[in-house]
Structure 1
């Protein structure tokens, strides 16, 4: 870490010991200080004292939730977490969980299914049970942007005008799961869901971070940023030093690598959207324009899908065309679904953007 001039000098020790997920999230000393407790913030003491209340609330929600055709996939993925060492379980008795975490005041998080195109993802809702409410972020996270990537490409192109450029992309396997949780905080990392074969509520103790924890975003990005420091400054592939495992099936070494849905064409020097995502967006917008209807809920979902384009490709121009969708999403007239002139103009502009090259 010293040779890489990494400012996050405590990271290795904290990874070895496990990282906290509630209370003050440890600082990386990399990003600007920004202590922002949630509007209805809970202290860790309050969270622990209300553990029985939150546990009862979560268990009631899980018992009401039906077993669906997608439930087996979420269950299988959770068992894969166990097989890979990111979780321990299943436990079918609350007393078993108490014994494992060493505390009766533990709080479960409901794991529910989210269907995304052709796959099902298990997501842990850590807001309704107070976990995220008791999390205090101490820094303002700053992530690399498409602009930074483009600046690097321009710099390389200016110095190597006759050399073909290639992109190398490593995709971490279950990235959040690879970052360990402090043993003392495992009472806050219990996830619960139904065993689809029996309908019984099962508990798993996550020893790696879950998707849905506010702390996971910050704790993971600390390690990711440190790996980048080492790759850049020591100039050797040492990602194994910090425990990162990469998915070989998602490895990219090509002239047109894709990062978060944005393709960097290093031969034509263009930014592009993945064809599949472009078609999906174009078809959805076309359907809305054809039927001339857009509900607040649908506007919110479409706005979420278009946010990546606004942030990654089109900057302030793209954000301007999101305004009409935002107005409809938060409209108090929930029964008003007719397209306004502003919505029509916005949707046509998004259609044009989704078919153009940049």
Structure 2
């Protein structure tokens, strides 16, 4: 009833009252709960099943949501450090093909080059946006009273969590907030309701004040009680990003505390079972995929492809046979999932041969920590028939490029 008092739901209504309101042209929606971890605590998140009542099938969209916040964060740090550590001149090629040139002020080459991070997220994000009155007939939640055992109806007045249309419409508003912040010269990124923020240490206080004024002016409700002040290390988007040694080592990224152990224990538990519900397999696969994306190897990707193929067999229960056990068994171990990952300065090449070598070294990553690096050898240092490039392997992950 908390959502009723907040104005998110209207009710309880009887089935007869809903019939009188919509003349029979309405669709019931089932709600179920999913346990999720948030800030180290378990909470029950209500999900409205718009797939079951076919409402999601009636919605189509042409928008493509680009969710590359973590990649963009690493690229932004890389670009900043490249410029401040250079010879004092800036040369940045813009998207329109032009080149931005200038000189770096001395203060940015000293304390100004130190970068810090923070994260801001919207509170009850979907519930901040109203549902069109024309769509409320398709959003009538039907719940059973645990005391009287009678069925009660609740009409949704805000974007429901579980509707495909909610995802698209919410992201339009979330991306609008991000775009306005960009015009205020705030270096921040957007991933659904999360906003990773990057700022020079000397501007940390100003950046926070600017963002607070912006969200208050536009009427967005943010979870300021979760705010952690700017620091060289911050947890965002489910991972921990470390910039403490960014000038000498680079950006370090690791799964946040507890996630690696949770993924490994879940896989070990599944390997002991003979079968599992298909829905449970999909849920576990989502956790593994999130963690494996941080590991940055190809082995886990191939294993996930096999597991995904099994989950699409359209059966209620999936038998854990030899092939599925091998797929789970080839996933990264706890040490691989939990360890910090250094960000490559480049990580690719225009040469097909070098790209194939990079893929080979990625496979080596599954057996132990390694760091491939490439050195250009000047012509006068080569022998008569020496190679122009040499490929070396360093077992020290803190090596430099």
TM-score by length of 1: 0.68
Give the equivalent residue in structure 2 for 1:85. Answer: 7
Give the equivalent residue in structure 1 for 2:386. Answer: none
Q: What secondary structure is seen at the aligned counterpart in 1 of 2:48?
A: strand
Q: Quickly say closer, same or farther: Cα 1:335–1:307, change in 2 above 3 A.
A: closer
Instruction: Point out the structure with the larger helix share.
Output: 1
Q: From 117, 135, 138, give the equivalent of 2:62.
A: 138
Q: From 105, 110, 114, give the equivalent of 2:34.
A: 114
Are the aligned partners of 2:267 and 2:328 in contact in 1 as well (CA < 8 Å)? no
Larger Rg: 2
Q: From 337, 340, 344, give the equivalent of 1:357.
A: 340
Q: From 233, 240, 254, give the equivalent of 1:263.
A: 240
Alignment of 1:185-196 (within 5 A): 185-196=135-146
Give the equivalent residue in structure 1 for 2:174. Answer: 224
Q: What secondary structure is seen at the aligned counterpart in 2 of 1:219?
A: helix
Alignment of 1:338-353 (within 5 A): 338=322, 342-343=326-327, 345-347=329-331, 349-353=332-336
Are the aligned partners of 2:254 and 2:294 in contact in 1 as well (CA < 8 Å)? no
Are the aligned partners of 1:294 and 1:338 in contact in 2 as well (CA < 8 Å)? no
Q: Does 1:305 align with 2:255?
A: no
Q: Quickly say closer, same or farther: Cα 1:229–1:262, change in 2 above 3 A.
A: same
Q: From 89, 93, 97, give the equivalent of 2:18.
A: 97
Structure with more contact order per residue of length (Cα contacts < 8 Å, sep ≥ 6)? 1
Shift of 1:259: 2.1
Task: Give me the whole-angstrom Cα distance separating, in 1, the residues matched to 2:139 and 2:277.
Answer: 34
Shift of 1:282: 2.0
Are the aligned partners of 2:281 and 2:311 in contact in 1 as well (CA < 8 Å)? yes
Shift of 1:274: 1.0
Give the equivalent residue in structure 1 for 2:215. Answer: 239
Instruction: Point out the structure with the larger strand share.
Output: 2
Range with bigger deviation, 101-110 or 168-177: 101-110
Give the equivalent residue in structure 1 for 2:203. Answer: none
Task: Give me the whole-angstrom Cα distance separating, in 1, the residues matched to 2:4 and 2:320.
Answer: 47
Task: Give me the whole-angstrom Cα distance separating, in 1, the residues matched to 2:16 and 2:281.
Answer: 45
Q: Quickly say closer, same or farther: Cα 1:207–1:357, change in 2 above 3 A.
A: same
Q: Quickly say closer, same or farther: Cα 1:86–1:311, change in 2 above 3 A.
A: farther
* Unaligned 5+ runs, structure 1: 1-78
- What CA RMSD, in Å, does the superposition of the two structures yield over aligned residues? 2.8
Shift of 1:189: 1.9
Shift of 1:147: 0.8
Q: Deviations over 1:232-264 (max 9, x none)?
A: 113443224443211122223232222221111
Shift of 1:339: 5.8
Q: Quickly say closer, same or farther: Cα 1:106–1:308, change in 2 above 3 A.
A: same
Task: Give me the whole-angstrom Cα distance separating, in 1, the residues matched to 2:146 and 2:180.
Answer: 44
Q: What secondary structure is seen at the aligned counterpart in 2 of 1:192?
A: strand
Shift of 1:294: 6.5
Alignment of 1:146-225 (within 5 A): 146-158=70-82, 159=84, 162=111, 163-225=113-175
Size of the alignment, in residue pairs?
276
